[in-house]
Amino acid sequence: MSERPATYETHLSQLLAGRTRAVREPALWHERILDGLPISGVETVKARAALTDAEMARLLGIGEATLRRARASGEPLDPVTGDRLFRLSKVIAVALEVLETDENVRTWMHRGQPGLGGDVPLNRLLTQAGAEAVETLLWRIEYSVLT
């Protein structure tokens, strides 16, 4: 019996919570973000997307020193930082579903994309609007919508 491919929800759960079972209810993520996502999610996303500390801090809207302190404390992320981590993780999860491997995701996220006017997808993840544009492009790739 072959193993079913991981879904977007499963990828998201693995990135943020280290779980292999998908969290399917958006309201549950809302509560988890408000309660404080674990710092381990930052490390998982950073590794899976091959981000530097500087890139990760920039995408989370915090300084590198703040990221180091958060890592050292082990405390859950505040809701604002957790929400930014969720936004980043959501796009990475979609990219994993569409592009299928970590290496494909790393390459794609760091390379200019014609569907984004030549911009690098990571540069778009600073805002919700940019993240939605990247996510839309990924789904267009998945469903071969090239116009």
Residue extents of the structural domains in the chain = 8-142
Average pLDDT over every residue of 38-48: 93
Average pLDDT over every residue of 70-91: 95
Question: pLDDT by residue (tens digit) across 89-147?
Answer: 999 999 999 998 999 999 999 999 999 999 999 999 999 999 999 999 999 999 887 65
Average pLDDT value for the chain: 89
Distance CA 139, CA 95 (A): 9
Position 120 scores a pLDDT of 96
Distance CA 145, CA 112 (A): 19
Query: How many angstroms from the chain centroid is the CA of residue 5?
Result: 19
Predicted TM-score of the model (pTM)? 0.86
Answer yes or no: is pLDDT of 11 > 50.
yes
Decide: residue 82, CB within 10 A, 0-12 exposed, 13-18 middle, 19+ buried. buried
